[in-house]
Amino acid sequence: MNSIKFRDELYENFGIKNLRELVNCSAQNYGNDTAFLVKDKPGGAYRAISYRRFRNDINNLGTSLLSLGLEGEKIALIGENRYEWVVSYLAVTNGVGVIVPIDKELPEAEITNLLRRSGAKAIIYSSKQGKKVTDAVSGVEELEYIIGMDSLKDDGKHKSFSSLMEKGRMLIEENNDIRYIKQNINNDDMCAIIFTSGTTGMAKGVMLSHKNISADIENVSMYVSYKGLTGLSVLPMHHTYEFNCHILAGIHQGASIAMCEGLKHVVKNMQEAKVSLLVGVPLLFESMHSRIWKKAEKSGKAGKLRKAMAISKRLEKRNIKTMRKFFKDISDAMGGQMKLMITGAAAINPKVVEDFNAFGINMIQGYGMTENSPIISVSKDRYSKAASAGLPLPGLDVRINNPDENGIGEIICKGDSVMLGYYDDPEETSKVLKDGWLYTGDLGYFDKDGFLYISGRQKNVIVTKNGKNIFPEEVEFTLLQSPYIKEVVVWGLDDEKSGDTVIYADIFPDCDALKESYGDLTSDGIRNVIEGEVDNANANMTGYKRVKRFKIREAEFEKTTTYKIKRFAINN
């Protein structure tokens, strides 16, 4: 929403200083309201779990974990998005020890490595990860307990999640064991180690405290309201973007969170749960956007849709009901209740944001990194700009360090949400934490209204021999405007003939789009089409930024679990 009416307005929230306060305040304020929507079997109906039940489950599991002698220990957690994952995370952090979420997509060897590096004494896992986890933990002698979310085995070091829950309930109700519930929480203590995405050799363990996470939740909640909304948990929970900004912020504001059954079930689950909030990444939203336009083109309604959008954009969101009436078919395809979409983790085409806003669905974007718990900036849900990464969060000092003549420099920030450091790695910590300031490694600038724009990663910048700086992300964005280019990565290549640095592009074409437009093409045919698209992109860029060479790749790029291309893996 571009109206400046809400420029200076903030939402009010009850203050929290740690994650136990988060759970207790939400149980007190929202009581029997629905906290989570879960399914007991694939394809079944959603059932509701209240905020009060949610708090009790956390206390039951936490009490049982303490009874196992795990106080102060690190406990690993691995599995798909599910209610038991959330309960486990908060049961550990709110009175037991330190949680270590692990990416379920990692291979066995990397899971073993992270368990050893973190010093985990127990692991809680889902049956879907059963064999991988069983193999991974076999060589980790330090593990005292292996807890299966779906396991019935309950002897020795192997424990059943359900049995631990029942044991905790009995300890509280029958033995009046309230040690866990009364456990002292030090807001400054580390409560989570989040390993950044990448190979084991590159992954760093980001140490976050209760204060770090709570500050970020509070700050985000001043800009964006989830009240009365139902979200769908799609992104992997081990990532702070999904867990802190969607799950925990949702708990803080009394939202309901439905567990998604998987990416191929997103649309069905949105309809079943009547989802009104979706937190995602550009790939998800750009795919939805593409499907909408392809459907309109095939049905012959694209022209009518463009006219309706032109009217909608002139309304500037002054009449949301009218806008939604224009685009009822689009709304119905998303369950009929969608009100707010938030995109982050990577850059998105501003046209996608503009179009969803025109459809009557408020879409905003933000920016952050795990080291800041994670959000650094986000647009207000009532005051935004489509191409911007939003406004710096309240309570966070965000600056541009050493800006160039265009105002572009490294983004640095300082505040309560900045991490404690990297686990067992003071050398790497000292590179990014200086006098309390977090040096993000990202380059950006502010506009006159204080909105932040991201130019690219500092380490990715291509510097030509004559001193020109080229942001590969900018070149990639221009190339991706082609309907026939699905993914692309560019970098600088030293050219022996010219003695200068030239731009090289590694391109993965959209084969479906090519076939739809040109039929079956040979490899030479595909290259000819892509060459034309590269020429078109070059026409929109200044000379030194133009792509001089490119290759066609046959497979998609390797990606993180938040669908960001792993640049370091391209030439490995």
User: pLDDT, tens digit, for every residue of 44-59?
Assistant: 999 999 999 999 999 9
Q: What is the CA radius of gyration of the chain?
A: 24
pLDDT number for residue 541: 84
Q: Where are the alpha helices (DSSP H) in 3-126?
A: 19-30, 51-67, 83-93, 108-118
Given a cut of 50, whether residue 198 has pLDDT beyond it is: no
Q: Which of 457, 519, 508 is nearest to 479 (CA)?
A: 508
Binned at pLDDT 50, 70 and 90, residue 398 comes out as very high
Residues 423 and 205 sit within 8 Å (Cβ to Cβ)? yes
Take residue 164 and report the two structure tokens written for it.
Answer: 């631990």
Residues 76 and 194 sit within 8 Å (Cβ to Cβ)? no
Check residue 260 and report its DSSP letter.
P
Query: Going by DSSP bridges, is the β-strand pair 469-470/485-494 parallel, antiparallel, or unpaired?
Result: unpaired
Print burial letters for 164-191: b (CB count within 10 Å at least 16), e (below 16).
bbebbbebbeeeebeebbeeeeebebbb
pLDDT cut 90: percent of the chain above it:
65
pLDDT number for residue 31: 96
Q: In what order do the strands lie in the sheet with 362-368?
A: 46-50, 34-39, 256-259, 230-233, 277-280, 340-343, 362-368, 375-378, 391-392
* The CA-based dihedral angle spanning residues 260, 263, 267, 268, taken in that order and rounded to the nearest 10 degrees: -60
Going 543 to 549 to 555 to 558, the CA torsion angle's sign is negative
Phi/psi of residue 11, each to 5°? -75, 145
Cα 327-330-336 angle, rounded to 5 deg: 95
Rounded to the nearest 10 degrees, the angle between the axes of helix 523-538 and helix 511-518 is 100
pLDDT number for residue 199: 35
Residues 67 and 116 sit within 8 Å (Cβ to Cβ)? no
Given a cut of 60, whether residue 211 has pLDDT beyond it is: yes
Amino acid letter, 120: A
Given a cut of 90, whether residue 306 has pLDDT beyond it is: no
Sort 263 into a burial class: Cβ within 10 Å, 0-12 / 13-18 / 19+.
exposed
Q: Where are the alpha helices (DSSP H) in 138-281?
A: 161-173, 210-223, 240-242, 249-253, 266-273
Residues 6+ apart with CB under 8 A from 517: 483, 484
Cis ω for the linkage preceding 374 (within 30 of 0):
yes
Take residue 86 and report the two structure tokens written for it.
Answer: 């959330």
pLDDT (average), residues 99-105: 94
Give dist(CA 84, CA 107) in Å, integer.
22
pLDDT number for residue 126: 95
pLDDT number for residue 529: 93
* The CA-based dihedral angle spanning residues 137, 139, 145, 149, taken in that order and rounded to the nearest 10 degrees: 10
Give dist(CA 388, CA 299) in Å, integer.
33
Mean pLDDT over the full length of the chain: 90
DSSP string, 538-567: HTTS-GGGSEEEEEE-SSPPPB-TT--B-G
Give dist(CA 287, CA 564) in Å, integer.
15
pLDDT number for residue 572: 43
Residues 537 and 547 sit within 8 Å (Cβ to Cβ)? yes
Binned at pLDDT 50, 70 and 90, residue 266 comes out as very high
Binned at pLDDT 50, 70 and 90, residue 465 comes out as low
Condensed to tens digits (0 to 9), the pLDDT of residues 504-539 reads: 899 999 998 899 889 999 989 999 999 999 999 999
pLDDT number for residue 2: 47
Work out the number of other CB atoms within 10 angstroms of the CB of residue 161.
22
pLDDT (average), residues 134-153: 90
Distance of CA 288 to the CA centre of its chain: 17
Given a cut of 50, whether residue 16 has pLDDT beyond it is: yes
